[in-house]
Amino acid sequence: MSASHYYLEATVASNISETSRVNTLVLRLREELKIVPGQFLMVWRPGDGEIPITPSLTMGETLCLTIEKVGFTSSRLASLKPGEKVFLRGPYGNGFNLSLPGRYLLIGGGTGAASLTPAYLSLVKKGVETLFLVGARNRESLVYVRRLRELGAGFQVATDDGSEGFKGTLPEFFAEVSSRDRFENVLTIGPERMMVKIAEKCVEQGVSCQVSLVRIVKCGLGVCGSCVLDPLGLRVCVDGPVFHGEKILGSDFGRFMRDEAGRRVEVVQ
Amino acid sequence: MSASHYYLEATVASNISETSRVNTLVLRLREELKIVPGQFLMVWRPGDGEIPITPSLTMGETLCLTIEKVGFTSSRLASLKPGEKVFLRGPYGNGFNLSLPGRYLLIGGGTGAASLTPAYLSLVKKGVETLFLVGARNRESLVYVRRLRELGAGFQVATDDGSEGFKGTLPEFFAEVSSRDRFENVLTIGPERMMVKIAEKCVEQGVSCQVSLVRIVKCGLGVCGSCVLDPLGLRVCVDGPVFHGEKILGSDFGRFMRDEAGRRVEVVQ
Amino acid sequence: MHPDTEVDVAGLVLRSPLMVASGVLGSSPSLIRIIATNPDVGAVVTKTVTYRPRTGYENPTLVDLGYGFLNAMGLPNPGYSEYRFELGSIKKSLEIPLIVSIGPSDEGEAEEMVEELDSVADGFEVNLSCPHVENLGMEVGSDASKASGIVKAVRGSTGKPVLVKISPNVTDFVANARSAVEAGADAITAINTVRGMAIDVNAMRPVLSNVYGGLSGKAIHPVAVRIVFELYEKIKAPIVGCGGVYDWRDAVELILAGATAVQIGSAIAHSQTGLKVFNEIGEGVRRYLALKGFSSVKQIIGLAHS
Amino acid sequence: MHPDTEVDVAGLVLRSPLMVASGVLGSSPSLIRIIATNPDVGAVVTKTVTYRPRTGYENPTLVDLGYGFLNAMGLPNPGYSEYRFELGSIKKSLEIPLIVSIGPSDEGEAEEMVEELDSVADGFEVNLSCPHVENLGMEVGSDASKASGIVKAVRGSTGKPVLVKISPNVTDFVANARSAVEAGADAITAINTVRGMAIDVNAMRPVLSNVYGGLSGKAIHPVAVRIVFELYEKIKAPIVGCGGVYDWRDAVELILAGATAVQIGSAIAHSQTGLKVFNEIGEGVRRYLALKGFSSVKQIIGLAHS
Ligand SMILES: Cc1cc2nc3c(=O)[nH]c(=O)nc-3n(C[C@H](O)[C@H](O)[C@H](O)COP(=O)(O)OP(=O)(O)OC[C@H]3O[C@@H](n4cnc5c(N)ncnc54)[C@H](O)[C@@H]3O)c2cc1C
Ligand SMILES: Cc1cc2nc3c(=O)[nH]c(=O)nc-3n(C[C@H](O)[C@H](O)[C@H](O)COP(=O)(O)OP(=O)(O)OC[C@H]3O[C@@H](n4cnc5c(N)ncnc54)[C@H](O)[C@@H]3O)c2cc1C
Ligand SMILES: Cc1cc2nc3c(=O)[nH]c(=O)nc-3n(C[C@H](O)[C@H](O)[C@H](O)COP(=O)(O)O)c2cc1C
Ligand SMILES: Cc1cc2nc3c(=O)[nH]c(=O)nc-3n(C[C@H](O)[C@H](O)[C@H](O)COP(=O)(O)O)c2cc1C
Ligand code: FES
Ligand code: FES
């Protein structure tokens, strides 16, 4: 706080187009930012708004944000040019618990493949056996696989239409993989309905499952209550964004969220 | 600060009459207060005001304040009964430097004898050779000698009228003592004109001399400027109350102080 | 010795003088249900609801200053009608009073809202003091006759206790509190946030999307103490103190100043222990009362005046 | 690159935008003389002097809150006449402007004081905003016609720049600033302290002998930023920002908000380094300007508005 007052300044070094809807910003900071995999940052452009993003890479003074253009702010951020600035606060939230014993299966859908990468790299660095499944609707929608390849990551791909890798959804691929091999831990980021299916399967199999939730984050500090998961009263920004699947199954997880006015609305994805 | 909010509460355990004008309050605190000899406390009684006092003894949770009744607040405090409360903030100021090499001569006039006692005890405890001169107008005005005797302190007395000990003022006694024996360090608390004479003599003789000044202390924190020693711009509450004689000789020390309105007035004692 | 911590705010009997301040932790009924099980929470004030749903302002809406927060949330809320429905779903399970905070922009809205919400509320807090929302909050609060009209409308629409929350951002807060009491308020909540703003030196822009916001937390505690102290001498209604209560001393300070109960907002987020801050403060207040020889917290209300 | 830190406040050319705020460090001319040798101090504002000497209030007069101070010194000062004499003794040796702060209680006093003090002052700051002294400061400041009369009297008695220091404790500070400018003020200093108080839980009494006092320091920084920002849009006169400047970012924040210069008070006492805080802040501002590619601090005044 004292070094940065309110926000840390970051400069866009490059902007990599992942798909027609998703871009990765490579940012340079003036100092290193310590982030636990799974924690998130609040990313601000004055006039354009501020949104929560889970970094897709953190390496010294380099930071990658992989952003899907879903609305105004995300679209503006995803379109920034080299030399432009963004302003960061955080890291916020709990991050993944990567010290549970056993092997890890990571399942990333859409931009979730990017957001899971820091956890993947951290596990591999610790010498933990890890398998990374990434998925999307089709080959064109796959996010971050080029970067994963550059990083020398071992990963397997699933596409709904079979245009690359396994043909089917990630829950289907997960079922397939776990019919052959049992991982003690599953980490997943992706569309919420996908995560619910995976979490349910994990509970069935007695496998530990950590999911990263998305809700409307305003303060990021646990003050405003905008990100609450009902009826548990958990605040995604401080109690999460990572939750153990068995703790939140049966709640609004995968079914309801609150919109910006705090109205309870259905989760659509 | 966090334990005490604004003030520490202390309870009067006993009130010892030293002379007709001076009393010693023995206080009990709820926790030990770490004070360097020569530092002072701000002592508050709601409704009666708040004044700076240099403790005359600090021992675990016991604290002694030796107070001369010179005006409203000091008279109220000096008249407190066992069980009554006072409220303390501090310690403030720098305190004496007791790690200068050589032997120490302590010279306390009036309540100064009491205020110098913690420094005396600390030096003796460190095994430093120390001589303590205490003085007053006459035997009846001697302050704290009973307590010094109880503490087993070695001290010598001077009275202006010779009713006890050396006949003469403390500067005279000091001249007499230093004609026989040379101390490397002098510490003194007492009427300012007395301290000036002692400091001048020390400078003449090349002896280190630390004096403790009294000015109007309001904030005690260096903010309000009420305790300034001109023209040096030194604040007694934070830069002092202890100063090296040679640093302040030639200033308003011993000649002028500021009254509560900040008017420059003559030092009378 | 177990000092009694029960207090009575305009007829609302609270097992603890500590209440959750409005808006902090938002409007989720499930959070209210959970908070209400904490034995050191005496009542919950809901997020301020308005006549229509509000999405609030764009992010950024909050700045953490360390010693406080600046917020310009823009009163996001689902609107009183949907909110009544949500509160209904938890009302029965609550063992402590539920005070519904409302931000009507005129008398008509006030009446409709209160009539509808009356079945789920044990009391109302009228927010005439939100410093960053136009046509609501302070804008209304500083238009004396409009404010008074709204309070009268609320008063006329419910038999339950009505609190009015006042703003520190006015020259004469005593006049505002007095006119609220004259219009029928049973108690005054003091204070809402203090006007403020922050500029990021790197971005060179105001941080809050709304530019201006409201300062809360430690920073405003002395302001709250002062206003509670003065109101205690100048109005007859009980006062609920609010502003920068982070530990038991802060709570006691407001009670000694004259508050019958104390609301806690920012500390919930600034404390390492989250909602346990209520237990730490509750325990501290009990220890303090015991140490000083009081058998009830009621005995120290306003004691700093004597 | 060595960015230029010179600014011009209503004709007063300051080598640094940093000034010593009124009253902090008191009225001793010797302290002023010493402070003025600091290259990062652009001007000194004296303690507020009044027509007659004032001893100020009984102790306690100051509370340290950690994140700020509460003070009710009661404007102790030797009176303008003796003070003029004292300032005269150092005036020649000062290389930076000396701004004399005055607290007249009516027009007559204002005229007499300013005529007398004119020979030792490079400018005046009229204190109409001290929150804790009756018949002076805020009491005067909130009586619009009286305040305006005093400013006119000051204006009529000197050709030197006149600053008017305003209070945050009013509903409409913009109106106060405007009427000061209409009455002839060349610049507005914003802000004086915020009303507040503290109660000691052990003593169960207000700490300040005056009960109420003024809050300064970090706590009020967002309030100062907000007022400076709004004044910058609504009045034409230059603004001197004051309130909670503890490091270079706080200073830059006020300048971006619209302040031409910045006063520093509480930080002098709260900083570990005392008066060196001016050098730390000065150095920080220069580094910031260089990093952002500005050649002069003037280029960033009000930049947060664009
Ligand atoms: C902890 C966390 C980490 C995140 N990490 C990433 C990331 O790495 N990459 C990434 O692309 N996105 C991430 N998101 C999601 C991202 O923050 C949202 O997509 C973004 O806030 C949308 O803002 P917007 O202004 O562009 O869209 P808006 O205009 O606000 O919304 C566009 C549409 O999306 C819906 N919407 C907005 N926010 C959410 C939400 N939080 N949940 C569900 N629907 C929403 C709106 O209702 C609307 O229909 C993360 C979210 C959270 C909470
Ligand atoms: C660092 C420090 C340590 C001190 N330690 C002790 C101590 O251990 N024991 C003790 O008895 N006293 C001590 N004093 C002095 C004591 O604080 C004053 O005597 C007291 O403040 C007087 O307050 P009052 O309200 O009783 O008198 P007031 O009514 O304020 O004053 C009575 C008379 O004394 C004069 N006076 C008041 N304060 C001062 C002052 N600071 N210097 C000179 N004249 C003054 C007044 O002008 C007036 O003539 C100390 C002072 C300082 C600054
Ligand atoms: C994030 C946030 C949201 C708030 N929302 C409301 C609200 O909806 N209605 C209201 O009356 N006060 C609201 N407030 C003000 C608080 O209820 C309280 O008056 C203020 O924060 C001071 O208390 P504190 O210092 O304990 O936080 C909000 C405060 C914060 C920090
Ligand atoms: C101990 C003290 C004394 C003050 N005396 C005066 C004064 O005489 N005249 C005045 O205009 N302001 C006075 N002030 C207010 C300051 O000049 C300044 O406006 C306020 O403290 C806010 O700035 P800060 O946060 O940097 O301290 C005083 C402040 C303090 C803390
Ligand atoms: S975003 Fe405000 S509580 Fe989570
Ligand atoms: S007493 Fe205030 S500066 Fe020393």
Both A127 and A225 in one domain: the answer is: no
Q: Please give the structure tokens belonging to residue D178.
A: 């405007």
- Measuring from atom 23 of ligand 4, which residue has the nearest CA? D243
Instruction: Among the bound ligands, name the one nearest to the CA of residue D220.
Output: 4
Q: What is the 3-state secondary structure (H, E, C) of B9-35?
A: EEEEEEEEECCCCEEEEEEEECCCCCC
Rounded CA separation D27/D83 (Å) = 8
Of B57-71, C127-141, C233-247, give the lowest mean pLDDT range.
C127-141
Best mutation target, B217, B218, B255, B259, to test chain D (most D CBs within 10 A) = B218
Residue D269, min C-alpha distance to chain C (Å): 18
Residue in D closest to C301 by C-alpha? D204
Both A175 and A231 in one domain: the answer is: no
CATH number of the domain where residue B36 is located: 2.40.30.10
Predicted pLDDT at A18: 93
Both B83 and B119 in one domain: the answer is: no
Q: Ligand 6 pocket, B220 CB below 6 A?
A: yes
Q: What is the mean pLDDT of chain C?
A: 93
Residues D217/D266, Cβ–Cβ less than 8 Å: yes
Domain-located, residue A129: yes
Both B136 and B183 in one domain: the answer is: yes
Domain-located, residue A2: no
pLDDT tens for each residue of B238-266 = 999 999 999 999 999 999 999 999 999 99
Both B117 and B25 in one domain: the answer is: no
User: Which residues does chain A have within 8 Å of residue C55's beta carbon, measured at their own beta carbons?
Assistant: 259-261
Both A230 and A163 in one domain: the answer is: no
Catalytic choice (C14, C41, C72, C130): C130
Domain-located, residue B3: no
Domain, as residue range, for A31: 8-92
Residue C229, min C-alpha distance to chain D (Å): 9
Rounded CA separation D103/D133 (Å) = 10
Domain-located, residue A3: no
User: Which residues does chain D have within 8 Å of residue C230's beta carbon, measured at their own beta carbons?
Assistant: 212
Residue of D110, D108, D86 whose CA lies nearest to D98: D86
Domain-located, residue A151: yes
pLDDT tens for each residue of B30-48 = 989 999 999 999 999 999 9
Both A80 and A64 in one domain: the answer is: yes
Rounded CA separation C50/A4 (Å) = 37
Both A106 and A195 in one domain: the answer is: yes
CATH number of the domain where residue B100 is located: 3.40.50.80
Predicted pLDDT at D2: 86
Domain-located, residue A238: yes
pLDDT at B7 over 90: yes
pTM of the model: 0.95
User: Which residues does chain A have within 8 Å of residue D253's beta carbon, measured at their own beta carbons?
Assistant: 5
CB distance from D69 to chain B under 8 Å? yes
Both B202 and B101 in one domain: the answer is: yes
Both A156 and A185 in one domain: the answer is: yes
Dump the DSSP string for B194-252. HHHHHHHHHHHHT-EEEEE-----SSSSSSS-TTEETTTTEETTTT-SEEEHHHHTTTT
Residue of C118, C7, C98, C86 whose CA lies nearest to C45: C98
pLDDT tens for chain D, residues 1 to 306: 689 999 999 999 999 999 999 998 877 888 899 999 999 999 999 999 999 999 999 999 999 999 999 999 999 999 999 999 999 999 999 999 999 999 999 999 999 999 999 999 999 999 987 666 666 655 666 677 888 999 999 999 999 999 999 999 998 999 999 999 999 999 999 999 999 999 999 999 999 999 999 999 999 999 999 999 999 999 999 999 999 999 999 999 999 999 999 999 999 987 777 789 999 999 999 999 999 999 999 999 999 998
SS3 (DSSP) at C33: helix
Residue in A closest to D252 by C-alpha? A5
Number of domains in chain B: 3
Both B86 and B107 in one domain: the answer is: no
In the reported structure, the alpha carbon of residue A224 is separated from the centroid of ligand 5 by a whole-number distance in angstroms of: 5
Domain-located, residue B104: yes
**The sheet that has B104-109: what strands, in order across it?**
B166-167, B155-159, B130-136, B104-109, B185-189, B208-212, B242-244
**Does ipTM surpass 0.90 in this model?**
yes
Instruction: Among the bound ligands, name the one nearest to the CA of residue A213.
Output: 1
Domain-located, residue B230: yes
> Which residue among B212, B234, B253 closes a domain?
B212
Q: CA B102 → CA B124, B211, D162, distances in Å?
A: 13, 17, 58
Q: Please give the structure tokens belonging to residue D128.
A: 């109409």
Both B100 and B198 in one domain: the answer is: yes
> Which residue among B92, B107, B142 closes a domain?
B92
Rounded CA separation C164/C45 (Å) = 12
Domains present along chain D, CATH in parentheses: 7-49+78-189+218-305 (3.20.20.70)
pLDDT tens for each residue of A202-259 = 999 999 999 999 999 999 999 998 999 999 999 999 999 999 999 999 999 999 999 9
Rounded CA separation A163/D19 (Å) = 69
Q: Please give the structure tokens belonging to residue D80.
A: 């303008």
